[in-house]
Structure 1
Amino acid sequence: MKKTATVDTDVMKSAVVAQRRGTEQDGAAATTLMQDAYRQLEEMIVTAQLAPGEVVSEAILSRRIGIGTTPTREALHRLSREYLVQIMPRRGVVVTPVDVGLQFQVLETRREVDRLIARSAAQRATAAERQSIAALAKAIEDTVAHSDVRAFLRLDAQRSRCVASSARNSVAADIATTLHSVSRRFWFCHLRDDQQLLDTARLHLAVAKAVVLGDAEAAGEASDELIDYMLAFAKATLPGASNPGR
């Protein structure tokens, strides 16, 4: 009886462990699906494949990206927190308008957060992270050379996440993620020529290169220069203004 009880207990423990592992795997898969849905939808909104003011539904978006409704819904709620969509209960999802006033507020906040991230990343990034950032910088240079704006945005978003992760400050990283999508969409919707692409890429790459070199002071200065340019870019979209650098 004792032996049987011991065997039964072992079986029960094994079952509990297997169930826990299965739950963890299911949770990881669900998270991955949500992240995939988020990145697809975020890119579609940033690059105006989903136009400002467009009304869509979870079901339509789910079919369009080939991911189930639950992760698609979770992705949309995240995009709502990032000012890119407005969820209207029982009516659908509205892509928010591109708003220069919001862009100014975003850039004011980004100046402080991005500087902190850039400086911290330059000080704290591991050798492997610096290699990853350097590789992304090289890939960005290649896309800019071919005037591939969508590829530039995709790779620069990866670079931004990598730099933020290497800063070892999850609070700052979360804030930056929330704000950067707004800035990227504003920039994409007002981009006029290759020179603006080159200027923007050069400034982003300056931040990346300073982080790779471990130069915190240069990283902070490069971050400020990028925000200065983005402010000038935003101001140039106002009536009667000229393009930045012209």
Structure 2
Amino acid sequence: MPQVDDHLGPADPEKRRQADQAYDALESMIATLQLKPGAAIVEAELISQTGLGRTPVREALMRLVSCGLIVQQARRGLQVSEIRLAEHLDLIEARRVLERLIASMAARRATPPQRQDLLACAQTMLSSAEAGDLHGYMHADQALDRIIHAACRNPAAAAAVVPMAIQCRRFWYAYQHQGDLLRGAQLHLDLAQAIAAAQAEAAQTAADALMDYLRGFAQAVID
């Protein structure tokens, strides 16, 4: 998933890079439940865990608040947001609309290197799934999202879908025992192949199929 920089202001490149690193680290910790739903945010611990300074960590926390992954609780400070089962299906349907748009635009606008990188990430997801390497799978999934969002060249759509994608990734990680890793990897590969081939309609269809998979997975958890 590409990072949205407008929260950072006109910072110098090194400070921006550190803030992005902090955001990536905290996002991954939330998505993989190292920071559990409802957990209190202790800034000093995050600074120690990320190896980054107070300023980039605070910038990252601000961005995560804007994404809804961290919430401000009265008299309790910052906490990781809860996973809300009842709202998750609605989130997927909202994400579906954006993913169709992003997929079709990426198919039309991606550069040749981006098309190659998409295929490489999707293949890594598939090989990780075959090996049962969940960490590798999730890392490649995150990288694939970033490339697609950059390739679509629509920052507004990318910024809107990023929080939804993170919520879906966290939901999947929390209930992975009910998911089919290989099926998920194949659907991501189908999407990457359609975008790489500049087939906008096929990319939309592949995005729909991926959302159908996520909806079916979520429905199985809720039922």
TM-score, L = length of structure 2: 0.90
| CA radius of gyration, larger in | 1
Is the 1:58–1:92 Cα contact (8 Å) retained in structure 2? Answer: no
Go from structure 1 to structure 2 and tell me whether the alpha carbon gap of 1:189 and 1:55 turns closer, same or farther (over 3 Å shift): same
Q: Establish whether residue 132 from structure 1 lines up as the match of residue 117 from structure 2.
A: yes
Q: Deviations over 1:83-125 (max 9, x none)?
A: 2111347743211111123322321111110001101111111
Residue 19 (structure 1) aligns with: none
Q: Deviations over 1:144-203 (max 9, x none)?
A: 12111122111111111101111111111111212110110001101116x611111111
Is the 1:161–1:177 Cα contact (8 Å) retained in structure 2? Answer: no
Gaps of 5+ in 1: 1-23, 242-246
Q: Establish whether residue 229 from structure 1 lines up as the match of residue 178 from structure 2.
A: no
Q: Which amino acid aligns with 2:193?
A: K
Residue 182 (structure 2) aligns with: 198
Mapped partners of 1:102, 1:57: distance in 2: 27
Q: Give the secondary-structure state (helix, strand or coil) at the position aligned to 1:109.
A: helix
Residue 81 (structure 1) aligns with: 66
Q: Which amino acid aligns with 1:142?
A: S
Is the 1:83–1:182 Cα contact (8 Å) retained in structure 2? Answer: no
- Calculate percent identity across the aligned residue pairs: 36
Q: Give the secondary-structure state (helix, strand or coil) at the position aligned to 2:71.
A: strand
Q: Establish whether residue 165 from structure 1 lines up as the match of residue 165 from structure 2.
A: no
Residue 162 (structure 2) aligns with: 177
What RMSD in Å do the two structures reach over aligned CA positions? 1.6
Gaps of 5+ in 2: 1-9
Q: Establish whether residue 101 from structure 1 lines up as the match of residue 86 from structure 2.
A: yes
Q: Which amino acid aligns with 2:191?
A: V
Residue 30 (structure 2) aligns with: 45
Correspondence list, 1:16-31, <5 A? 27-31=12-16
Mapped partners of 1:152, 1:171: distance in 2: 27
Q: Deviations over 1:55-83 (max 9, x none)?
A: 12112211121111111011011111222
Mapped partners of 1:70, 1:171: distance in 2: 26
Is the 1:82–1:182 Cα contact (8 Å) retained in structure 2? Answer: no
With a CA cutoff of 8 Å and minimum separation of 6, indicate the structure with the bigger relative contact order: 2
Residue 102 (structure 2) aligns with: 117
Q: Which stretch shifts more, 209-218 or 133-142?
A: 133-142
Mapped partners of 1:104, 1:144: distance in 2: 25
Is the 1:117–1:164 Cα contact (8 Å) retained in structure 2? Answer: yes
Mapped partners of 1:120, 1:211: distance in 2: 9
Matched pairs, number: 214
TM-score, L = length of structure 1: 0.82
